[in-house]
Structure 1
Amino acid sequence: MALPKEYVNQMRELLGEEAEDFLASYAEPKKTAIRLNGLKIESTGFGEKEAVDKPSAGQSFVAGRDPVPWAAGAYYTDKTERPGKHPYYYAGLYYIQEPSAMLPAELLDPQPGQRVLDLCAAPGGKSTQLAAKLRGTGLLVTNDLATERTKALAKNIERAGIGCAVVTNESPAKLAAAFGATFDRVLVDAPCSGEGMFRKDEDMVRQWDADAPARYAAMQDEIMLEAAKMVAPGGRLAYSTCTFSPVENEGTIARFLAAHPDFEIVATESPAAWGFAPGRPEWLTPEEAAALGPDRTARLADTIRLWPHRVRGEGHFAALLERAAPSGMAVSGASPESEPAGAAAAESRKAGGKTGGASFKDPKPGKRTTAVRRGAEAAGRGRSKGFDDRTGGESDTIARYEAFLRESLPGWKPPGTIRIKGDHVYAVSEPAGSMQGLRLVREGWLLGLSTRHRFEPSQALAMGLKPHQAALSLQLAGESEDAIRYLKGETLQPEPAKVTGLNGEPADKRGWTLVCLDGCPLGWGRWDGATLKNELLPGWRQV
């Protein structure tokens, strides 16, 4: 790889004797990985203890893979693999993510029931990671300023089956004005010069210039200024970049801390065995160090650097900050209401001894924030047929929606508040503040829409359900022929005995059917007793 000469000289000056090992890493293949979706693995066998006699389909899929040590349920993939083509990807069972990029969400470690903001979220990898930790509770606001990128963000939120999410397309300043200091956890994965992307995308090499770090640092300062306004007292803010430039990393944190005396760096365990390296306070400019002061400058060593010659990843910088709570203010972690979800998360991490699910702990835990707030179980953005087929009456929409629930999802209760917009039905989580005037890509979980003749459930609803919640379901296996045919949009003719009811017995009715892959929903079909009409939307099909 032909690296810019000025960049090479800068890295040699910074790293000294270590520079040649760093530069040699650019001759190696990029590192890739998948991260299992903690919201879905319980029903698929991915999170079960290994069965010696007959491993589950999930266990077979991850068997033999090396775990990413700093992320729960994450595994390295081989360069010859195409994980984006496997049916499990379409079922939202995993997210394809660069290994280093998994670190910030692990550091932030939101608890069930908390309010979380991912400020620069597209395409959504860190948001899906944060949502899995919320276990379907609380609230996740996931935002990106680039309109086109929010389309991929919303699609990934839906595929992951996230229900407690609001997707916005706004500037940090507009969000700060709307929400105020209401979030327990805020993640800023900042736009940066992208030096850690060089192996992944050679266009980043061609676009780099010597002035890029300073330009991005100015942008990062503005973003962090607004992000700070949204962190609740006692709350936490994680900052990360995929670049190596000191001015965008230690420098950004130093400038932020100098301007915000109520924030401090949280020290976390950074196992040397994983290749983690400390931040470098000596790389600050004299002006930055003077403004921060010697004691707080020294704390920059508690930030984390991932170098591509030390870890199996492309490289990252991450810092965890905590906002002080006023004296006497009562702050706490998740309340007992969230313990069942927390237990599920613990069970998922229990497999971590096998899956590499590391849990980052504070050597000296700081104060935790606010109790559990009501949330949702699944989420989405989707567009069913008949989108513009207006009924002209909200009462008709409600009646058709309720009839669908009685027939197809008996006993299931949607989370949050039901909101009708035209013919569309949403389940909306409790907002963190006023969303009036914000550009909302998705204000909640789109459950479906009412046409002239019936209620049509959305793809987003399917992705957030559990198989046992549907009156009719069809289970498909792994990479079976029927699974591939369904993903391509074809009609299926399964054996009638394979379409089952709530009790798992062969069904004696017809109607909307939840099509599942090894226990995880793929989408809808309509069963007539002999044929399953494929209702998978074109944008969700395998191509």
Structure 2
Amino acid sequence: MKEQFLARMKQMLGEEYDAYLETLQKPPYRGLRVNTLKCTAGQIQESGIAMLRPASICADTFYIEDDTRLGNHPYHMGGMFYLQEPSAAGAVEILDVKEHDWVLDLCAAPGGKSTQIAAKLRNTGFLLSNEIDSGRAMTLLSNLERMGVSENMVTCADPRVLCEQLKGCFDKVLIDAPCSGEGMFKKHARAMEEWSEAHVQACAKRQLHILESGCACVKSGGTLVYSTCTYALEENEAVIDQFLRSHPEMELEDCAVSFGRSGIAYGDLDAAKVRRILPMDGGEGHFIAKMRKIGPETSSKLYFQEAKPRKDVVEWLAGIVDEAFPYAMEENGLIYLKKTPFLLLKKVKVLRQGIQAGNRKAKRIEPMHHLYMSAVLRSHFKQVCVLHELSEAYAYLQGNLIMKSGWHGYVAIAYRGCILGFGKGDGTQIKNHYPKGLRLSATAHYER
């Protein structure tokens, strides 16, 4: 590990430095967060998939206490949990999302915090998840689909362009800012290789620009939470202090949580109100600050598309689920469904809005994977083939035929209550429609 970085940590931690050095010899914390859109924490605990210990940071987070690898487990593939080190859930806990809120996650990839926000919204309100990097944006989209999020929009845009159209539109804004990643050194070697004091300074400058954009989107009385996964004072307390000096309409609030510790004194900042999490506190390294907009704001005028689904779409959907959607949008043959009108934006790349439900091919409509992964529909499918054996679930996830007779037409495929995708039955077997890009290798397995 770089000597310059360690010297900075020694100066910052003082008597705790040796305790920090000791944590570097241990593996990084591992954990998961239960997706309450699809199941309960109790269901995951009782499943026995791993040795789990509840984390105090969030009611639905757990430390994984053994060596079990859960990335290929059917419950993970079906979106019942998200693999996430527990302290990463702290920022959304402090954001305090309520049902029916409009929430903007401005730097959202890979999606851990967006999926946590969606679980708190419980299929109400609206979530806009943005990522400027196109490759990371596709990872974000995939994770949101897997976790069953539907009343949302995913964009790939420069925050300045996006936020210019959304001034004063959100109850809650989260900026989990790109940073030097000092808290991730044990997990990502690349973060350590790229580290330098110059990189820390460059990150701080970029973070201030992102805060400028995101701040404009907060409603009067709304909340802005800023977080990083770095220890650097320059990217944490110093950024917030400088931001508040130039934004009198924003007021620092107490994070009001018991986890972690107070921040480091800097400038005029009240360090007791912000939160730091270090390895000694049960996490790999996070900083969180909460602010409220106390001044008036200029609100952008929003435009919506309120088109109703075409008759053939209504009839097609009725053959699959016993749930209706009042709004539909079609683009390049793809059909999107929402419970609320579609938000229209200019000069912004929208990767998806609502449920990507179907694909028009000639005179028929074929269902899409997102339709079956959607949490809002998980108890509404008219046909569900339940697989009881783990080996059957893996056979499906690997793309194999399902040798089950008596099924005709499109059918949801579930493993012990967790919907994994869909297939199409001909009465003697079910043809596998699990997306080829998601299929597991023939050797993939799960072991306790």
Q: Normalized against structure 1, the TM-score is what? A: 0.76
Relative to 1, partners in 2 of residues 1:468 and 1:99: Cα closer, same or farther, differing over 3 Å? closer
What residue in structure 1 maps to residue 384 of structure 2?
Answer: 473
Mapping 1:225-240, distance limit 5 Å = 225-240=212-227
Relative to 1, partners in 2 of residues 1:512 and 1:189: Cα closer, same or farther, differing over 3 Å? same
Counterparts of 2:217 and 2:44, CA distance in 1: 42
Counterparts of 1:145 and 1:447, CA distance in 2: 25
- CA shift, 1:47, in A, is 4.2
Q: Percent identity?
A: 33
What residue in structure 1 maps to residue 320 of structure 2?
Answer: 408
Counterparts of 2:129 and 2:282, CA distance in 1: 28
Report if the CA contact (8 A) 1:265-1:302 is conserved. yes
- CA shift, 1:268, in A, is 3.1
The counterpart of 1:194, out of the listed 166, 171, 181, is 181
Once the two structures are superposed, residues 48-76 of structure 1 have per-residue CA deviations (whole angstroms, 9 ceiling, x without a partner) of 5xxxxxxx676123675111211231111
Task: Name the Cα RMSD after superposition.
Answer: 2.3
Report if the CA contact (8 A) 2:95-2:224 is conserved. yes
Relative to 1, partners in 2 of residues 1:239 and 1:448: Cα closer, same or farther, differing over 3 Å? same
What residue in structure 2 maps to residue 160 of structure 1?
Answer: 147
1:515 and 2:427 matched: no
What residue in structure 1 maps to residue 399 of structure 2?
Answer: 489
- CA shift, 1:186, in A, is 0.5
- Matched position secondary structure for 1:305: strand
Structure with greater helix share of residues? 1
1:5 and 2:3 matched: yes
- CA shift, 1:399, in A, is 4.7
Counterparts of 1:171 and 1:220, CA distance in 2: 13
Relative to 1, partners in 2 of residues 1:110 and 1:192: Cα closer, same or farther, differing over 3 Å? same
The counterpart of 2:330, out of the listed 410, 420, 428, is 420
- Matched position secondary structure for 1:7: helix
- CA shift, 1:463, in A, is 0.2
The counterpart of 1:301, out of the listed 268, 272, 284, is 272
Once the two structures are superposed, residues 1-27 of structure 1 have per-residue CA deviations (whole angstroms, 9 ceiling, x without a partner) of xx2111111111122111121122111
Counterparts of 2:41 and 2:278, CA distance in 1: 30
Counterparts of 1:426 and 1:184, CA distance in 2: 25
Report if the CA contact (8 A) 2:335-2:359 is conserved. yes
Mapping 1:26-45, distance limit 5 Å = 26-41=24-39
What residue in structure 2 maps to residue 524 of structure 1?
Answer: 422
What residue in structure 2 maps to residue 278 of structure 1?
Answer: 262
Relative to 1, partners in 2 of residues 1:207 and 1:468: Cα closer, same or farther, differing over 3 Å? closer
Structure 1 portions without partners, runs of 5+: 49-55, 328-373, 375-393, 500-509
- Matched position secondary structure for 1:83: coil
Greater alpha carbon shift after TM alignment, 533-542 vs 168-177? 533-542
Q: Which amino acid aligns with 1:483?
A: A
Report if the CA contact (8 A) 2:38-2:378 is conserved. no
Once the two structures are superposed, residues 291-317 of structure 1 have per-residue CA deviations (whole angstroms, 9 ceiling, x without a partner) of x4xxxx2x2321000011x22221100
Counterparts of 1:432 and 1:239, CA distance in 2: 28
- CA shift, 1:165, in A, is 1.2
- CA shift, 1:169, in A, is 0.6
Report if the CA contact (8 A) 1:183-1:235 is conserved. yes
Q: Which amino acid aligns with 2:21?
A: L
The structure 1 segments of at least 4 consecutive aligned residues displaced by more than 4 Å after TM superposition are 428-434
Counterparts of 1:319 and 1:443, CA distance in 2: 29
What residue in structure 2 maps to residue 320 of structure 1?
Answer: 290
Report if the CA contact (8 A) 1:467-1:519 is conserved. no
The counterpart of 1:125, out of the listed 112, 121, 127, is 112
- CA shift, 1:520, in A, is 2.2
Q: Which has the higher contact order (CA 8 A, sep 6+)?
A: 1
Counterparts of 1:482 and 1:57, CA distance in 2: 20
Once the two structures are superposed, residues 322-370 of structure 1 have per-residue CA deviations (whole angstroms, 9 ceiling, x without a partner) of 111559xxxxxxxxxxxxxxxxxxxxxxxxxxxxxxxxxxxxxxxxxxx
- CA shift, 1:467, in A, is 4.5
- CA shift, 1:133, in A, is 0.3
Once the two structures are superposed, residues 393-440 of structure 1 have per-residue CA deviations (whole angstroms, 9 ceiling, x without a partner) of x99x9454233223222x3112x5211224221124657964122111
Relative to 1, partners in 2 of residues 1:32 and 1:525: Cα closer, same or farther, differing over 3 Å? same
Q: Which amino acid aligns with 2:33?
A: R
What residue in structure 2 maps to residue 180 of structure 1?
Answer: 167
What residue in structure 2 maps to residue 352 of structure 1?
Answer: none
1:203 and 2:190 matched: yes
- Matched position secondary structure for 1:34: strand
Rg (Cα) greater in structure: 1
Mapping 1:48-59, distance limit 5 Å = 48=42, 59=46
Counterparts of 2:427 and 2:339, CA distance in 1: 37
Relative to 1, partners in 2 of residues 1:431 and 1:106: Cα closer, same or farther, differing over 3 Å? farther
Relative to 1, partners in 2 of residues 1:58 and 1:493: Cα closer, same or farther, differing over 3 Å? farther
Counterparts of 2:113 and 2:185, CA distance in 1: 20
Once the two structures are superposed, residues 238-276 of structure 1 have per-residue CA deviations (whole angstroms, 9 ceiling, x without a partner) of 1000100111100011011111111112213332xx5x1
- CA shift, 1:117, in A, is 0.4
Report if the CA contact (8 A) 1:109-1:130 is conserved. no
What residue in structure 2 maps to residue 383 of structure 1?
Answer: none
What residue in structure 2 maps to residue 115 of structure 1?
Answer: 102
- CA shift, 1:181, in A, is 1.1
Report if the CA contact (8 A) 2:51-2:66 is conserved. no
1:311 and 2:311 matched: no
Relative to 1, partners in 2 of residues 1:437 and 1:183: Cα closer, same or farther, differing over 3 Å? same
Once the two structures are superposed, residues 150-203 of structure 1 have per-residue CA deviations (whole angstroms, 9 ceiling, x without a partner) of 110000010010011100011111111111110001000001111101111122
Q: Normalized against structure 2, the TM-score is what? A: 0.91
- Matched position secondary structure for 2:434: coil
Report if the CA contact (8 A) 1:425-1:446 is conserved. yes
Once the two structures are superposed, residues 363-396 of structure 1 have per-residue CA deviations (whole angstroms, 9 ceiling, x without a partner) of xxxxxxxxxxx9xxxxxxxxxxxxxxxxxxx99x
Relative to 1, partners in 2 of residues 1:122 and 1:27: Cα closer, same or farther, differing over 3 Å? same
Counterparts of 1:468 and 1:27, CA distance in 2: 46
Q: Which amino acid aligns with 1:314?
A: E
Relative to 1, partners in 2 of residues 1:473 and 1:27: Cα closer, same or farther, differing over 3 Å? same
Report if the CA contact (8 A) 1:178-1:433 is conserved. no
